[in-house]
Amino acid sequence: MAGSMARWFASGTLSVMTLVPAARPFSASVLRKRLVSAAAEAERRGLDALLITPSPDFAYLLGYRPPALERLTCLVVPASAVPRLVVPRLEAPLARHQLDELASDVEVIAWDETDDPFKVVQSLLRTDASRVGVQDQMWARFALRFGAVLDPIELVAAGPTMGALRSVKTPDEVTRLRAAAAADDRAMLAITAERVSGRTEAEVSRRVLELLIEAGHDTADFAIVASGPNAASPHHEPGSRVIEPGDAIVLDIGGTLDGYWSDTTRTAFVGEPPADFVAMYEVLREAQEAACDAVQPGVAAHDVDRAARAIIEDAGYGEQFIHRTGHGIGLELHEEPYVVAGNRAPLQPGHAFSVEPGLYLEARWGARIEDILICTPDGGERLNTTDRRLYLVD
C-alpha cells in the first residue's frame, strides 16, 4: 500500500543515510532477451521505437541505474534495429562498464556538451517513423523537448509496452520477491513482539526501519505506523502521537532486496480489543482470504477485487473500503497489474501483486491485511507467510 519514503532513518538525534548496495545483476543473456522482447512488443503495438530514460524500465532492460541528470541519457529501442544508448560523454565510461557483456549488443553514442542530444536521438529514428513510445517517468523537460524536436511524430506512453513485459516475472525475479517478502515477515514478527505502548508512532516507525535492515533488506523505505484514529488514514505519516492501550495499529512496512520490493501490512491491537473491532476485523480477514483464493490464471484482476469487496459490502462496510484491492510489485513498489474494479485484464502466471483490503472508520480506527502473491499455473502463492490474525501487543 505504502508510497516510498526517503531511504534514511534517525537514530537519536542523528540522521543516518543508508548505503544502497548494487542489486545482483542479471546475466547478459537475460538482458538481451528483454531488449528483443521490448522491440517486438513495441512493433506489435504499432510503435517505431521506445525512448527510455533512467528509470525502472531502463534498469529492467540494461541491468543498471544511471544517475538521473539534467543531461539527457536515453536508450533508443527501435522496433527493428540495434538498440542504442545516447549518453553525455562524461557518462560513457560508466555506461560501457555497467553494460559489460551487453556492450556488444547496445551501441553507446556519446554526445558532447555543445551537441543537441535530442537531435542525436532524432537521427537514430527511421525517417518514416510516425509513432514513438516515451518512457512514463521521463522528466517533463525532456518529454517537451522531444515533442518539439520530433514533431510531427506522435509521442505516446511506453507504459503499456513495458508493463506487458515487466508484469510477468521470471523465476529469478520471483526468487528475489520471495526473499524480500521473507525479510519483511521477519521484521514484522520482530516489531509485533516488542512493547509499543508508551512510544510514539515515529519512534516505532524508526525501529521498524532498523528491523528491516537487520532482517536482510538492502534499503528500508517505509514504515507506516498508524495508531488509534490515525489508523483510519491509509497512508498516515507516523508522528508524535503516543500509542496507548485500546489503540488499533496498522503496520505497513517494506523496502528493497536485490532490487525488488517488499510490502506487507498487519494490524495489531494494544490490549484486549472490543467486540465490535473484532467483528470488523473478522470481515476483513474473510475478505482478504476470499480475494487470495480467487487468484487463478485467466481470472480478471477485477474479479479478485470483487471477491474482497463483495464480502465487505455484504457486512455493511462498503463505504469504509476506500481503495483498490492491490497493486503489482517488482522493480517498483506500485506497477502493473492493478487489482481494481474495471481492470478486465486476465491474470497470468508470473504476475506479482498485493492483496490488501482495508477498512477505515474515520476518527475511530482502521485495519488492513496485505500479502504479496504470485499467480502460478495452479492459483495464487502467498509470499508473505506470517499469520493474518489480529496481533495483540503490549
Over residues 355-384, the pLDDT tens digits come to 999 999 999 999 999 999 999 999 999 999
Of the listed ranges 15-19, 249-253, 300-304, 321-325, the one predicted with least confidence = 15-19
Query: Vertex 348, ends 347 and 350: CA angle to 5°?
Result: 120
Banded model confidence at residue 25, pLDDT cuts 50, 70, 90: confident
Spell out the residues 6+ positions from residue 271 whose beta carbon is closer than 8 angstroms to its own. 197, 245, 246, 392, 394
227 or 11, higher pLDDT: 227
pLDDT of residue 20: 58
Q: How confident is the model at residue 21 (pLDDT cuts 50, 70, 90)?
A: low
Q: How does the average pLDDT of the chain come out, rounded?
A: 94
pLDDT at residue 197 is higher than 50? yes
All CATH 3.40.350.10 domain ranges in the chain, comma separated: 28-166
Q: Thinking of the domain 171-393, which architecture would CATH place it in?
A: Alpha-Beta Complex (3.90)
Would you state the CATH architecture of domain 28-166? 3-Layer(aba) Sandwich (3.40)
Weakest-pLDDT range from 4-18, 98-112, 154-168, 262-276: 4-18
In tens, the pLDDT along 203-216 reads 999 999 999 999 99
Query: Residues of CATH 3.90.230.10 domain(s) within the chain?
Result: 171-393
And the C-alpha cell for 327?
A: 497493486
* pLDDT confidence band for 333 (50 / 70 / 90): very high
Whether the model clears a pTM of 0.95, i.e. scores above it, the answer is no
